[in-house]
Chain A
């Protein structure tokens, strides 16, 4: 595996058992995350953005089935074999070590992601004490996943003490730009403002120094000024801590600011993926072109907004062939409605699933 790659998802397919039968909201999904880079995933609600990233830590509802053929390779570095996360059982210790320890996650609703009855500090310290080894332990520097340290040795150098965890929490809150961190640490989520809560949520996620942060619409619930601050903060912390980010959003404007690579999702498939500049300046898929045209332009505010025609179909009425064909202005009859388009590498690293680019 390319040492620059952190995660390589191959042919991900997630289905759900429901009362009306099995639905498959995510199919044919391939994406890769490079070390210290940001992958932006855009798509409408229901396009499978969250499901396809939550599969990375098996954080899916009980009725979800991840196709055993799918591969989620996690590159642990130092020349070791990549770990196929999909082979690990959902409740296993290895998965728990990945969750929060290596792959951290923040969510859209900062208020709801905290439990209202525990202090911010309590929830940061919980993450720290679950994953981090004491700084005076010789094992602290090494990664907790995949290293060949015996369990007995680990038990000897216990996880961090409460006091140490608290100072890590305060330090972390300070680093995400929360003033009076030593007071804030003992406050409850409802005593913080919306922007501060999202900062605190980032502090929880990053307190364990994960190698990748999954940010599931982290700025959607915030107003534009706070949004800009949070995006700036995430960028700073990314360089500081050297981590990768998966940034999920439905906002093309946000993705243009943060991403190095963009994946455009439609109905559970990545229809186009490539470097940011290529996707924005030279979009290949009709859907990408459509949503880029839909962005309001400052020099033409009086004009009617352009929309991608039609609606996203429900989970039980997935179109045959290319999922986008019923809404596609350039569809080729008898091709697009019959066959599923294969992935085509148009220019290096710029992929598209569309018959127009055969």
Chain B
């Protein structure tokens, strides 16, 4: 098992290396660089004649004159040794300061969504599979297809409307005004959770719908296995048979797709965040691209891919624990 984990960890490192190169290439892709943008902003309309030499000087100030491989080396070296993602040009502070808070909030939304998805999808799917062809089964199927069919932003708007008109509470943003600047306390945490519920529901609905279908199908397969009949023939109580044999295997596809879920949540989050006014990373990513603020964009891309890769790593390890056949084949 340890060997398997080490192998996977090595794979993770290799993946992250290639990801960092790709992220850097993407950072370099837009035409021009921040020096051009800076010169334009600073001197446009002032009547000052900006020469190529001036821009060259600005470039030198920002350290953009070095060849690409050297800048990559400096950038990645700083991240690995000092956890320093470089300077944000637009905000004139370090990238860490810019993304720090938003990163934690994005992660909070991510984990709330994942937990909500699995807490809902697994029990519902198992119930639907056991009570196959019942009214509850059909109702849950309709409900989950609704989740798949409704666009997220519409759902977000709908929930926003409902919460304002019926519950008279604003769900926009992450904190109520009185907690916005307050120090961390239990009350503030509860306030945060209250605000996380709506984005989590919006993001979890489609994920839940998808997982319900997957788990239900696997569960139906597993229920018909001879090993389940054999367990019944041994006189094991029905609830124990169901929990111990088919359910355990029906969870496998959920575990193996954690990485995909994270990926989907990250891609759907910016739109939902825009509607609900959440300060998260996706919005900042778009803004930083518009500003050609490349170190911010790079840091965000790197962090998002890092979480997806790490979640994939975790799902691999968890799967190996759940299913003894997996680690053996690697052996």
Contact = CB atoms under 8 A, between A and B. Distances in A.
Interface of A: 57, 59, 91, 96-101, 104-105, 107, 109, 112-118, 123, 126-127, 130-131, 188, 190-191, 201, 204-205
Nearest to B222: A115
Contacts of A113: 226-227, 229-230
A202 B227 CA distance: 14
B53 interface: no
A126 B236 contact: yes
Given A115-B245, A116-B325, A117-B323, A99 B226 contact: no
Contact of A100 (B225, B227, B233, B324): B233
Given A99-B235, A114-B230, 17 more contacts: A96-B236, A98-B235, A99-B234, A100-B233, A104-B233, A107-B226, A112-B227, A113-B230, A115-B231, A115-B244, A116-B323, A117-B248, A117-B322, A118-B244, A126-B236, A130-B234, A130-B235
Contacts, number: 75
Contacts of B236: 96, 100, 126-127, 130
Contacts of B237: 96
A109 B224 CA distance: 14
B185 to A, nearest CB: 45
Contacts of B248: 117
Contacts of B328: 188, 190-191
Contacts of B322: 117
A59 B325 contact: no
B249 interface: yes
Contact of B229 (A59, A104, A117, A201): A59
A131 B237 CA distance: 11
A52 to B, nearest CB: 15
B235 A131 contact: yes
Determine the main DSSP class of B at the interface with A. helix
Interface of B: 225-227, 229-238, 244-245, 248-249, 322-325, 328
B233 A105 contact: yes
B325 A100 contact: no
A354 B291 CA distance: 94
B96 to A, nearest CB: 44
B226 A109 contact: yes
A99 B227 contact: no
B251 to A, nearest CB: 11
A107 B237 CA distance: 20
Given A96-B237, A130-B235, A190 B325 contact: yes
Given A117-B323, A117-B324, A188-B325, A112 B235 contact: no
Quick one: which of A101, A104, A113 has the most chain B CB within 10 A? A113
Contacts of B323: 116-117
Q: Return the 9 tightest CB-CB contacts between A and B, nearest first.
A: A100-B235, A99-B235, A100-B234, A112-B226, A113-B230, A105-B233, A115-B227, A96-B235, A127-B234
Nearest to A115: B227
Nearest to B238: A91
Contacts of A205: 234
Contacts of B226: 107, 109, 112-113
Nearest to B234: A100
A99 B325 contact: no
A91 B226 CA distance: 19
B234 A204 contact: yes
B277 to A, nearest CB: 46
A114 B227 contact: yes
Contacts of B235: 96-101, 127, 130-131
Contacts of B324: 116-117, 188
